[in-house]
Amino acid sequence: AWTGGRTAGEAWGPPCDEHLCSALPVPALIPVTAVCLGLFVVGVAGNLLTVLILWRCRELKTTTNLYLGSMAVSDLIILLGLPLDLYRLWRSRPWIFGQLLCRLSQYTSEACTYCTILHITALTVERYLAICFPLKAKVVITKRRVKAVIGALWAFALLSAAPFFFLVGVEQPDNQTDFSRECKAVQSGLLAAMLWVTTSYFVLPVLCLNVLYGLIGRELWRNKVQARGPTGTLREKRHRQTIRILAVVVLAFVICWLPFHVGRIIFINTQNSRMMLFSQYFNIFALQLFYLSASINPILYNLISKKYRAAAYKLLLPHRSGERAFNVTRDTGGYTETSASLRKEHL
């Protein structure tokens, strides 16, 4: 993912020669590489498992899980770009993969980033409707409509990220050798304009998430006040669990994405070499959080569900799956995640 990195080998970075032109000194690159490789393994395995489970298990094909499956695909595509980012950290030039891959890798990463954010927001809207307006949600939210919404989210993300295809490219200064070829941002004016787009994709969803979760929390508090008896006590425990998990979701989103966007702002407004060096290290730190976000989604959105854990056990250990209970509510048509079931399993 493009984070506004500098040209390796300039005055504020480690020296470049024909054998090595890295973004950081080798002692710093080793732990960064180890962390990124760990995130790659965990993230790819987790998202692939999510896609397989939701594709093979008919009982889990609910409207909520349609969003989660689409998010898993988006995060998987993001993670597949991690090896190229690691290559650029170790050898930012010469770029040997050509103009098309340079532009396509940056574009797909940016588009999938937008797509993931849009999915989180849409899923939050669905949860808001399911908890605050459960009867209306059964009628309004159907699988067919959710599939249409998901298609629209992908189309909008791909379209809004289109300028990034022209923002980056392979640049080679005049009268320089092939060693100077580098995949980097080449349009400074467009870069500043796209900064506002990427910032909007963070600020607006965060505002939306906070408002919706505030409304959800108020509704759950009202249900807590009205709760009476053993059933009410059980419902209250589920409410507390829901609020805690919602807080974790919002917090993880902000922690993983805030440095990513702050790093871009720092890079755009940096004028001296000292700040540029700080920007470089900060952006590499933000890059690791960026991939952490794509890796942790299967844990935050799926592993907290008992149904998902049972389905994973059945998929990974089919010979022993009969020893465990696998009780799931079958889809009866339309919107299957009612307010109660949503609180219990998906939150």
Domains (range + CATH), the chain:
26-346 (1.20.1070.10)
Q: Is the pLDDT of residue 129 over 60?
A: yes
Question: What is the predicted pLDDT for the residue at 163?
Answer: 83
Mean pLDDT value across residues 38-51: 92
pLDDT tens figures, 187-214: 666 666 667 777 788 888 888 888 888 8
Convert the chain into a string of H (helix), E (strand) and C (coil).
Answer: CCCCCCCCCCCCCCCCCCCCECCCCHHHHHHHHHHHHHHHHHHHHHHHHHHHHHHHCHHHCCHHHHHHHHHHHHHHHHHHCHHHHHHHHHECCCCCCHHHHHHHHHHHHHHHHHHHHHHHHHHHHHHHHHHHCHHHHHHHCCHHHHHHHHHHHHHHHHHHCCCHHHHEEEECCCCCCHHHCEEEECCHHHHHHHHHHHHHHHHHHHHHHHHHHHHHHHHHHHHHHHCCHHHHHHHHHHHHHHHHHHHHHHHHHHHHHHHHHHHHHHHHCCCCHHHHHHHHHHHHHHHHHHHHHHHHHHHHHHHCCHHHHHHHHHHHCCCCHHHCCCCCCCCCCCCCCCHHHHHHHHC
Residue 305's pLDDT band (cuts 50, 70, 90): low
Say which residue, 27 or 73, is predicted with more confidence.
73
Say which residue, 249 or 111, is predicted with more confidence.
111
Question: What is the predicted pLDDT for the residue at 233?
Answer: 60
Question: What is the predicted pLDDT for the residue at 48?
Answer: 92
Residue 34's pLDDT band (cuts 50, 70, 90): very high
